[in-house]
Amino acid sequence: MSPTNTVGMASATTKAPLLTTPYVEPYNCHIPNELVTFTADVSGAATRQVALVESPDSPDFAFCQPPGSEGDSMSSILAFSPAVCPSYWVMHHVTAHKTVVSGTSTKTVTTAYCCDKSQTLYPSGIDDLGIEYFSSNPACVWRVPEDYPRNIYLQPDGTTGAYATFTEGPLVRPAWRISWEATDRKSLSPVPPSLTAGQSLSFWTPTPKDLGGKSCSSENPCDEHHLDGLLELIAVPSSVGFVLIVGIIICCVVAKKRKRKRERKEAALSADAVLVDDQK
C-alpha cells in the first residue's frame, strides 16, 4: 500500500517559492560563520569540540538565499516548490508521497533534501549544537579538510572577548527542502526523477559523475542526531597521517643511508681501479 501523508514536506499546495532552475548565489555573497562549542563523545570520551555554523539568524544569511526563502507553512526557511537543487548539489531521500488535498482526494508529491556533494545530510537535524533551528530542521555537515583556511578567528557563543582559532571540525549549514508534482516536471530544469507513490531514491543528480556526499539513514544512522561519528572520522585521518609522516621520514633516512653506503663502495672500487692502472 502506498503511504498517504496529510502533511507534505514543502508540498506544492503551500506557498513555498518556486525555483525552476538551479539557484546561483550572488557573487558578493558572504555568510559569516559562527563558532559554536559543544560536547561530543569521541572514542568513548566526552570531549569539548567546536563547529563552524552558517546560522539562519545571521543578518547576511537571507541575502545569500533565493527570494522568499523565509519559509512556508511547513518549515521555517529554505523550502521550495516546485524546485530543483542548486548546481552540483545532491538530492537526498527522494520520496513520492500521496498527499491529501481535501476529503478523500489525494495527489502524489515527490519531496527531497539538497546538500552540496561534499556534505552529509542529517535529515532529522542535530542536537549537539544547542541551536533550536538545527535540532528540528535538516542540516548539511561538512568535515573541514586539511587545506581549508585555518586562520579563522571568531568569538565562541556565550563568551565575551574570548577568541579562538578554528583548526578542524564540522561545518554545519541548513539543508534545502524541495518538492514537485508530476505536472511540474516539464517546467523544471534539470528534469527531476519521476516516481510513483511509495517509490524512493537514496540519492539523485542529473549527472552521475557529480554524485557524492552521503545521508544519514536507518542503514547509516550517523549516530542519529549527533556529530560523534563525524568527529571520530576527523581524528582517525589525523592519527593515520601522523603514522604516514613518521613512516616516510624513516624510509627517507634508510634510503639516504643506503645511498651513502653505495657511494662509498663505488668510490672504493674506483680507487682500486686507479691503483691497478698506476702499477701497470
Tens digit of pLDDT for each residue in 188-220?
999 999 999 999 999 898 876 656 666 666 556
- SS3 for 182-197 is HHHHHHCCCCCCCCCC
Q: Which of 156, 7, 191, 176 is nearest to 91 (CA)?
A: 176
DSSP 77: S
pLDDT at 236 over 90: no
CA distance 22 to 70: 18
CA distance 217 to 104: 31
Tens digit of pLDDT for each residue in 6-60?
334 444 344 688 999 999 988 888 777 787 887 777 777 777 777 888 888 777 7
How buried is residue 196: exposed, middle or buried, by Cβ count under 10 Å (0-12/13-18/19+)?
exposed
Tens digit of pLDDT for each residue in 85-141?
998 899 999 999 998 888 888 899 999 999 998 899 999 888 888 888 888 889 999
Q: Which of 67, 170, 209, 180 is nearest to 114 (CA)?
A: 180
Residues forming beta bridges with residue 154, ordered by sequence position: 164
